[in-house]
Amino acid sequence: MNSRPTAQVPDNSPSADPAQRRREQRGWYVYDWANQVFITSVVTVLIGPYLSGLACTTAGAPDTATCTGGAYYVHPLGIQLHANAVYPAVTTVAILLQILLLPLLGSLADHSKHKKRWLFWLAFLGSVATSLLYFTGGDYVTTAALFLVANVLYGASLVIYNSFLSEIATPDERDRVSTVGWAIGYLGGALLLAAHLVLVLQADALGISQGEAVRIAIASVGIWWTGFTIIALKPLRNRFGELAARSARPNLRASTVQLVHTVRHMRQYPQTLLFLLAFIFFNDGIQAAVRYAAPFAAQDLQLDQGILMGTILMIQFVAFAGALMVGMAARRVGSKRAVLGTLVVWCVLVTLGYFLPAREPLLFLAMGVGIGLVLGGAQALARSMYSQLIPRGREAEYFSLYQISDRGSTFLGSLAVTIAVTLTGGYRAAIFSLIIFFLIGGFLLWKTDMRRGIREVGNKVPERL
């Protein structure tokens, strides 16, 4: 007698076994440890001054101080840009590509039963593009192109990574899991950045140029990213929700149709939309402050690479403690109030940043302490809050929209910085303008009714919001 095949039952809920959940959560934390080094060492510290320096040299500037405020231009693809505007311009293009690609990627992943495989290949290819930056030499165009590819793949990997949060943690666990992941990521970023600081400061003693040391440091990020991604994936398990259960394999047409359906029907969840709008604005300020701190310090404040790297390293350790502190505050006063508190601090910091004098490393270091205390808290809690506001079974698809909001906000910030730097030749005015994003984002978040939004999508309301 022939038996019919048993239909797969959709199951993407967290394990009922606390020990199993903890194992998966530990694996999930490791990917934060794996990927944060790309942001810490490459995006925040190394690539901005390095790429700007290459562009300034190509433009004929004798040094970066002269380049800042001077009429030094390059012409990539026939477009005239100030040499210092190349880095924010490349970032803007990378973000625009992510805005176009990530929703489809998230929908494809939700139709797949192999999200671990998706995460591995995106992380692996991103790390390869990062390591290949070692071989670009003094060519700013090739450097910019490889950084663009790595940046796009980094953002794509986060869509898949973030979508695991709803699958490995219960609603009451998510604030803790998300903030611990951010904290561990900062710790990993700090560890590798410390090694990079030693490498750059000891470049002469090692018989290499500082540019060579920077390229070695960037290449090591790719190796770190791939190695720890492999470790991170082992404890995680593939689940499949309703969309994957209906699909034998990821289908481009079905994924596109489902994405259009999701965007069209998100208006049924007005609180989710309002939260995303708030996130776009306040995250714009955070991301822009992180991305352009290095060129601001190197060019406008005229601080050397050692001071800059030492300050960013200190920020990582402070951010490790800061993320945990904000997480503890959220357990006492609720996630929403905790995030609003960090935004008040950010408003104060960007205002002080505008008035920082040049060649005053101690003042820059003091500002770095403040940044570290609030750097990860708002983003970690926002990720957790959003996971409460999405329907179960479509985590990757909805997190692709979250990632678009992340990239979209950075797009606005990077575009504004590109214009400001092109007009003024420096970063000071652009940094001060970020205060408007914190104010608007904070107001919209204050207007968001989290409890109502969670009930609208059919999720359990946590004890404290």
Q: What is the DSSP string of 9-70?
A: PPB-SPPS-HHHHHHHHHHHHHHHHHHHHIIIIIIIIIHHHHHHHHHHHHHT-SSHHHHTTS
Measured over all CA atoms, what is the biggest interatomic distance in the chain, rounded to whole angstroms?
84
Q: For residue 243, what pLDDT band results from cuts at 50, 70 and 90? A: very low
What's the chain's average pLDDT?
A: 82
153: three-class secondary structure by DSSP:
helix
* Average pLDDT score over residue span 234-252: 60
Look at the block and give the residue holding tokens 């990079």.
196
The per-residue pLDDT for range 276-290, each reduced to its tens digit, is 889 888 988 888 887
Instruction: Give the pLDDT of residue 4.
Output: 39
The per-residue pLDDT for range 358-383, each reduced to its tens digit, is 888 888 888 888 888 887 778 778 88
Cα gap 321→182, rounded to integer Å: 10
More confident residue, 355 or 416: 355
Cα gap 67→269, rounded to integer Å: 49
Look at the block and give the residue holding tokens 């400061």.
201
- Is it the case that residue 449 has pLDDT exceeding 60? yes
∠ CA 423-426-431 to the nearest 5 degrees?
100
Instruction: Give the pLDDT of residue 394.
Output: 67
Contact 274, 444 (CB under 8 A): yes
Residue 456 burial by CB count (10 A; 0-12/13-18/19+): exposed, middle or buried?
A: middle
The number of helix segments (H) and strand segments (E) in the chain equals 21, 2
Q: For residue 3, what pLDDT band results from cuts at 50, 70 and 90? A: very low
More confident residue, 303 or 248: 303
* Average pLDDT score over residue span 334-351: 92
Cα gap 127→107, rounded to integer Å: 23
Cα gap 267→94, rounded to integer Å: 28
Q: What is the DSSP letter of 240?
A: B
Single out the residue of 30, 40, 42 nearest to residue 87, CA to CA. Answer: 42
Cα gap 327→323, rounded to integer Å: 6
Instruction: Give the pLDDT of residue 393.
Output: 65
Phi then psi for residue 81, to 5 deg, are: -135, 145
Q: For residue 317, what pLDDT band results from cuts at 50, 70 and 90? A: confident
73 Cβ contact partners less than 8 Å away, ≥ 6 residues apart: 59, 80, 81, 82, 83
Instruction: Give the pLDDT of residue 144.
Output: 94
The per-residue pLDDT for range 143-173, each reduced to its tens digit, is 999 999 999 999 889 888 888 888 888 888 8
Contact 12, 239 (CB under 8 A): yes
- Is it the case that residue 85 has pLDDT exceeding 70? yes
For the chain, which domains are there?
A: 18-456 (1.20.1250.20)
CA 201 vs CA 191, 196, 204, 214, 268: distances in Å = 16, 9, 8, 10, 55
Single out the residue of 350, 406, 45 nearest to residue 218, CA to CA. Answer: 45
The per-residue pLDDT for range 14-49, each reduced to its tens digit, is 777 888 889 999 999 999 999 999 988 998 888 988
184 Cβ contact partners less than 8 Å away, ≥ 6 residues apart: 29, 30, 32, 33, 320
Instruction: Give the pLDDT of residue 325.
Output: 87
* Model confidence, pTM: 0.72
Instruction: Give the pLDDT of residue 1.
Output: 41
- The amino acid occupying position 435 is I
Q: For residue 12, what pLDDT band results from cuts at 50, 70 and 90? A: low
| 73-74 and 81-82 beta bridge pairing | antiparallel
**Residue 288 CA to its chain's centroid (Å):** 11
Phi then psi for residue 375, to 5 deg, are: -60, -55
Q: For residue 114, what pLDDT band results from cuts at 50, 70 and 90? A: confident
Contact 367, 59 (CB under 8 A): no
CA 73 vs CA 36, 377, 424: distances in Å = 32, 38, 13
- Is it the case that residue 301 has pLDDT exceeding 70? yes
- Is it the case that residue 407 has pLDDT exceeding 70? no
Cα gap 208→228, rounded to integer Å: 28
Instruction: Give the pLDDT of residue 328.
Output: 87
Rounded to 10 deg, the angle between the 435-447 and 270-291 helix axes is: 160
- Is it the case that residue 293 has pLDDT exceeding 90? no
- Is it the case that residue 448 has pLDDT exceeding 90? yes
Phi then psi for residue 355, to 5 deg, are: -95, 5
Contact 292, 427 (CB under 8 A): yes
